[in-house]
């Protein structure tokens, strides 16, 4: 039997809205190449990036810690908790905001879609 794995991750970019009401990530220079030249006598330069974002930016998983103070966080959960689970596929190519209309043709019963 062949197992097919599907990568659900997506690119995180400056200004990406992941959940209405939460701040978008800010991706910028901490130290730009131009600024760094002063550290190296103008001979060399480096760039050091900075990323500020809330912890559930990206492909979101509600882990027990989100709801329970002493629940497991993502780093404590085994990868097997996220494999071989039932799911549905929704084509959202080119869609920036996913709303209920993308799910309108799906009918879920007893936890199965």
Mean model confidence pLDDT for the chain = 83
Rounded to two decimals, what is the model's pTM? 0.60
pLDDT-derived band at 24, boundaries 50, 70, 90: very high
Mean pLDDT of 70-90: 84
What is the pLDDT, as a whole number, of residue 26? 96
What is the pLDDT, as a whole number, of residue 5? 73
What is the Cα 30 distance to its own chain's centre? 22
What is the pLDDT, as a whole number, of residue 108? 57
Sole residue written with tokens 């689970």: 85
49 close to 28: Cβ distance less than 8 angstroms: yes
What is the pLDDT, as a whole number, of residue 113? 45
Mean pLDDT of 90-113: 72
Query: 3-state DSSP call for residue 9?
Result: coil
């Amino acid at each position: 039997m062949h197992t097919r794995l599907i990568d659900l991750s997506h690119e995180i970019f400056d200004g990406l809205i992941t959940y209405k009401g939460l701040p978008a990530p800010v991706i910028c220079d901490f130290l730009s190449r131009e600024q760094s030249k002063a550290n190296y006598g103008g001979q060399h330069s480096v760039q050091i990036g900075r990323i500020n974002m809330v912890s559930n930016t990206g492909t979101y998983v509600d882990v027990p810690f989100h709801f329970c103070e002493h629940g497991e966080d993502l780093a404590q959960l085994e990868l097997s908790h996220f494999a071989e689970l039932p799911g549905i596929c929704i084509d959202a190519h080119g869609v920036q905001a996913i709303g209920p209309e993308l799910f309108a043709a799906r009918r879920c019963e007893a936890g199965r879609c």
